Structure 1
Amino acid sequence: MDTQALALALPLIGWASHTALLTHRLATARRDPLTGLRTRAGWTALAERVIRRHRDAVVLLLDLDDFKNLNDSHGHAAGDVALAVTAERLAAWCGRHGIAGRLGGDEFVAIARQAPDLESLHRALRQPIAYAGRRLPVSVSVGSCHVKDLPVRSLSDALTAADSAMYADKGTAGRRGTRPLSR
């Protein structure tokens, strides 16, 4: 290769490498390192697209009950396992019909393209978690919002409604999710 062609190619190679690195960093930033789920930013972009395209979409907000107690009683490693297993179960439940994310701490979010079977989600999430030879009980409060029931279909309004429903579930479910989920 002559020196003139090399001189022209080097900046292009540099820019291509730089673009690849930035693309990798952006993808990494949109995934939670502990659970592998999308972060708030990554999930929000996809959820807004689902709301625009699917009239029957349902937004879910989930919160691990007594998570602080789990961490205090069994250690942060047990808490990390509980978060990872909850994320795995939520992602499996979403399957090809929804998108799961982690907002932070012990809060998760999901969107389903159509009305989901919430009872099956509740059953999956309340299964005990194996940790250090023990089975740790878990409970997750879940709130949902059917986007079609909103006056204006917006992700912000859907999350607000799901948050209210989640706290209602948390307040009436008792410990360990004994009350069946309502829609």
Structure 2
Amino acid sequence: MLDTVTLRVAFGLVAICVLALFYSVTYRSTRSSYSGWWCVSLGCFIVSASLFLLNGTPVQILANPLGNAIAVLGAGCVWAAGRSLREIRVRWWQLAAVPAVVLAISLADDPRHDIWSGGAAYLACMALLVGASAWELAQLLRVLGPARATRAQYRFAVRAMVVVSSVISGFYLGRTVVFVAVGPDHVVFRAAFGGQVTTLLTMVLLVVVTFSMSALSHEQQTSELRLQATRDSLTGLLNRAEFLRAAQREIDRRPLRKDAAIVVADLDRFKSINDGLGHAAGDRVLTAFAEACQDVVGARGILGRLGGDEFVLLVRGSSAEAVVDAIARRYRGGEGSPMPTVSFGIAAAAAGDDIALAVEHADEALYEAKAAGRNRAVRAPRHDDRPPGVVDGRRTA
């Protein structure tokens, strides 16, 4: 079998080729967060392998601890890549904390004479972070679910990465246990978890996951483009067209309760905010109202921004009037507040209804609320020609 140094050189060359190809072909074309994290991870593993080649030289005292820390940082980037697919942001300190601990332990553990200084911490953290990546991807697979219309290639790529990450994590966990139990010089550790075996396994798995990385990066780019096409860029709510599609699918998919309704909301005298305080202040007001709607409605409804200062909600499972009151309390616009008040129009929604028509009815009720003095909710009648009226005479803020 080839010696460890030769295998590490070969691994470094393969990793450099994969990084160059992945950066040129995948990252530059997709600019996805996932591919970016993988490029950083590959770079960390290349640098770490290069530092380990300096073992046995006068600079080992620094090279070996740095190699441990940078390898752990690379594993952290693998974890961050998995989180990016779930649209969860990773803070810089979350990435830096574990490598910093490994570096400190390695420096304190006689790195001048021992190439395995800090070895237990290094191996355990590698197992932990790669295992965390497998967990993130497994959670993504659960969210996708068998009923979601997701391309088979994407699901296969996620499964492949779960398996590969689990194998690597399990391997490093085994290395940790045997390292602590018998030490790195024991025949069992050398035969099953030594540098040669580790380098060969990592090289094979690196080639295997290259396809999966590309597939996941392209899917993330597609998802981001899809998100941009269906979401309002300021508030993150659905845009008008996507809200109508989503709400129509919802009422066609299953019968709604009697209290399901379309609610159209409009900020009172919003133009005075933009004119008097500037568009940045106006954006903050719109964002605050959108957040209040999300906090109150959550998974019980569908939220959208019709445009300008007008919002729309499909509310199910609770009284529309109760939802309106809760949103108004959470938003807290009114006298003495920098936030403008809000007027609401409500229209019933049931299976078989045309959502676009229900939105029109709610919009008509909204203008009745405006005409009646603003800062109130008005419900549109459902099956007769009576004019809309103020709901229970209540004001919503």
Q: What TM-score results when the alignment is normalised by the length of structure 2?
A: 0.38
In 2, Cα distance between equivalents of 1:28 and 1:179: 32
1:74 maps to which of 277, 293, 307: 277
Q: Per the alignment, do residues 30 and 17 of structure 1 end up closer, same or farther by CA in structure 2, a change over 3 Å counting?
A: same
Aligned to 2:286: 83
Per-residue Cα deviation, 1:74-109 (whole angstroms, up to 9, x for no partner) = 211111111000101111121221111111111100
Which structure has greater strand proportion?
A: 1
Aligned to 2:51: none
Aligned to 2:155: none
Aligned to 1:7: none
Tell me which moved more, 153-162 or 110-119.
Answer: 110-119
Q: Structure 2 counterpart of 1:79, which letter?
A: G
Cα drift, residue 72 of structure 1: 1.0
What SS is found at the alignment partner of 2:347? Answer: strand
| Structure 2 residue 383 is the aligned partner of structure 1 residue 182 | no
Gaps of 5+ in 2: 1-13, 15-209, 379-389, 393-397
| Structure 2 residue 361 is the aligned partner of structure 1 residue 156 | no
What SS is found at the alignment partner of 1:170? Answer: helix
Aligned to 1:59: 262
User: How many pairs align?
Assistant: 168
1:33 maps to which of 233, 237, 252: 233
Q: Structure 1 counterpart of 2:226, which letter?
A: L
In 2, Cα distance between equivalents of 1:114 and 1:144: 15
Tell me which moved more, 92-101 or 41-50.
Answer: 41-50
| Structure 2 residue 344 is the aligned partner of structure 1 residue 127 | no
Aligned to 2:342: 140
Gaps of 5+ in 1: 2-9
Q: Per the alignment, do residues 84 and 12 of structure 1 end up closer, same or farther by CA in structure 2, a change over 3 Å counting?
A: closer
Q: Per the alignment, do residues 55 and 30 of structure 1 end up closer, same or farther by CA in structure 2, a change over 3 Å counting?
A: same
Cα drift, residue 135 of structure 1: 3.7
Cα drift, residue 122 of structure 1: 3.8
Aligned to 1:171: 371
Per-residue Cα deviation, 1:153-183 (whole angstroms, up to 9, x for no partner) = 11011111111111111110x25x1678518
Q: Is the 8 A contact 2:232 2:305 kept in 1?
A: yes
| Structure 2 residue 297 is the aligned partner of structure 1 residue 105 | no
Q: Per the alignment, do residues 178 and 12 of structure 1 end up closer, same or farther by CA in structure 2, a change over 3 Å counting?
A: closer
The Cα RMSD (Å) is: 3.0
Which structure has greater helix proportion?
A: 2
Q: Is the 8 A contact 2:347 2:361 kept in 1?
A: yes
Q: Per the alignment, do residues 120 and 97 of structure 1 end up closer, same or farther by CA in structure 2, a change over 3 Å counting?
A: closer
Point out which structure has higher relative CO (alpha carbons under 8 A, 6+ apart): 1
In 2, Cα distance between equivalents of 1:47 and 1:137: 29
Aligned to 1:6: none
What SS is found at the alignment partner of 1:128? Answer: coil
Q: Percent identity?
A: 34
Aligned to 2:223: 23
